Amino acid sequence: MTKSELKEFLDNKVEQYNSPKFIESDPIQIPHQFTKKEDIEITAFLTATIAWGKRQMIIKNSNRMVEIMDNSPYDYVMNHSETDLEKTAPFVHRTFNGDDFSFFVKSLQNIYLHHNGLEGVFNQFTVDENNKRVIHNFKKVFFEVSHQSRTMKHVSDPMKGSASKRINMFLRWMVRRDNAGVDFGLWKDIPMSKLSCPLDVHSGNVARKLRLLRRKQNDWKALEELDTNLRKLDANDPTKYDFALFGLGVFEKF
């Protein structure tokens, strides 16, 4: 395919998958249960954090987290007692367990008390070309509260080479503004042009087949390569192509 043919092909796939129907089978349905900004942010962050494995299990366990928080995530984060935190103990999603969940609640409380919330903590840092430094600095703030070393693996660091798929997905949900009502577009200070595509097995494989990506590992260097090529297709909204790559990979087995 020529560049213009590739863009037309992917734009059509974006239109196909970037629709309200997409929400029905995607973990983004969890924050869509809420209308309050802080509830949306918290559930989106927690859902994105456990977004690996089968989508049905991600959705099931994300809903379980919401239930543990009494279906009022922001109120739970801000006003929980030690007894309330005991309810997190049985929670498990793959390697993310109740201890991790309990720490995340405590860290989120610290962030809303002392850093003006999740949006505020990301806005503390000057946006670089692809949020690499922003995500790195966010992780430092997130773990300024006392924590077990094992929990640190659940927030990735691009400075250590990670593609940071889950945080990039969370940022897409919060920042990207579309006309379909899938992504929320709640945060206005991070430009959509600086967002990076959440790179995973599906999107990576499709990107390689379309020659948008040559690097074999799904790491930060691969993400930068993919970013460069997607921004050539749409400099203002490159992460819209996540819908195309993911849809082609998951739904069409491209």
Domain extent, residue 243, equals 3-250
Q: Is the dihedral of CA 110, 115, 117, 119 positive or negative?
A: negative
pTM for the whole structure: 0.96
Q: How far apart are CA 24 and CA 21, in angstroms?
A: 6
Residue 165 has pLDDT above 80, yes or no: yes
Reported as a pLDDT band with limits 50, 70 and 90, residue 130 is confident
Q: Which of 1-10, 120-129, 193-202, 227-236 bottoms out in mean pLDDT, i.e. has the lowest?
A: 120-129
**What is the rounded average pLDDT of the residues 107-135?**
93
- The type of residue at 33 is Q
**What is the rounded average pLDDT of the residues 141-154?**
95
Q: In Å, how far are 84, 130, 203, 207 from 226, measured between CA atoms?
A: 43, 11, 10, 8
Percentage of the chain modeled with pLDDT above 70: 100
Please state, as a whole number, how many other Cβ atoms lie within 10 Å of the Cβ of residue 80: 19
Residue with tokens 């491209």: 254
Q: What is the largest CA-CA distance in the chain?
A: 60
Backbone angles phi, psi at 38, to 5 degrees: -65, -35
Number of compact structural domains in the chain: 1
Residue 254 has pLDDT above 90, yes or no: no
Residue 128 has pLDDT above 90, yes or no: no
Per-residue pLDDT tens over the stretch 169-180: 999 999 999 989
Q: How far apart are CA 238 and CA 235, in angstroms?
A: 6
Residue 127 has pLDDT above 80, yes or no: no
Per-residue pLDDT tens over the stretch 45-90: 999 999 999 999 999 999 999 999 999 999 999 999 999 999 999 9
- The type of residue at 30 is I
